[in-house]
């Protein structure tokens, strides 16, 4: 039994859900998102509660049960509150600033890195060492944050690089003389 799949998804106030076939559409104050579930699960909407049930007892149906419930819960959270990832730049001369729809990063290369922000995601740089990524799609927000972080991952000796806020960097000691 899926412990996650058994829990019903309660929709926050101001959020509505509708099901047509295997497609769930969730509307809220921040926008509209939809998810197409596989034929292994049945999704029902009853007032402000969405439930997901497996069709049959096959392994695939049980796998899709918990995943589909989590996807519906993420849709509801995205259209009501949105998702947010915060990055920190640490290192001498490492800076970030927004110029229109482009994030300009100075990361110690011989050139500045220009990162084009995709549609549906908002990127802000309140301080030169902080970058905030926000949006209603959790997967897209996480992917944009990972793409920005990939330009300079934190290294273990000095801790320089782009890291997630609150991320622990395992530090190593340099070589001895």
* pLDDT at res. 95: 94
Angle (nearest 5°) at CA 160 between 90 and 135: 55
HSE of 2, CA atoms in CB hemisphere, 13 A: 24
Q: Which of 129, 130, 104 is nearest to 117 (CA)?
A: 104
* Rounded average pLDDT per 10-residue block, the chain, 177 residues: 85 91 92 92 91 91 92 93 94 92 93 93 94 94 95 93 93 88
* pLDDT at res. 1: 64
In this prediction the pTM is 0.87
What's the rounded Cα separation, in Å, for the pair 129 and 156? 19
Quote the tokens at residue 164: 């997630």
């Amino acid at each position: 039994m899926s412990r996650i799949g058994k829990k019903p998804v309660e929709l926050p106030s101001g959020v509505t859900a509708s099901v047509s076939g295997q497609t769930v559409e969730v509307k809220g104050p921040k926008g509209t998102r939809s998810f197409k579930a596989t034929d292994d699960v049945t999704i029902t909407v009853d007032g402000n509660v969405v439930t997901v049930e497996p069709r049959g007892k096959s392994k695939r149906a049980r796998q899709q049960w918990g995943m589909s419930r989590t996807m519906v819960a993420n849709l509801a959270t995205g259209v009501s509150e949105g998702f947010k990832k915060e990055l920190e730049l640490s290192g001498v001369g490492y800076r970030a600033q927004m110029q229109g729809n482009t994030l300009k990063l100075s990361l110690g290369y011989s050139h500045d890195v220009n990162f084009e922000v995709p549609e549906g995601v908002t990127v802000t740089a309140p301080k030169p060492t902080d970058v905030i990524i926000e949006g209603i799609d959790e997967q897209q927000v996480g992917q944009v944050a990972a793409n920005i972080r990939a330009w300079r991952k934190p290294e273990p000796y000095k801790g320089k690089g782009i890291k997630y806020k609150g991320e622990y960097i395992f530090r190593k000691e340099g070589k001895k003389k």
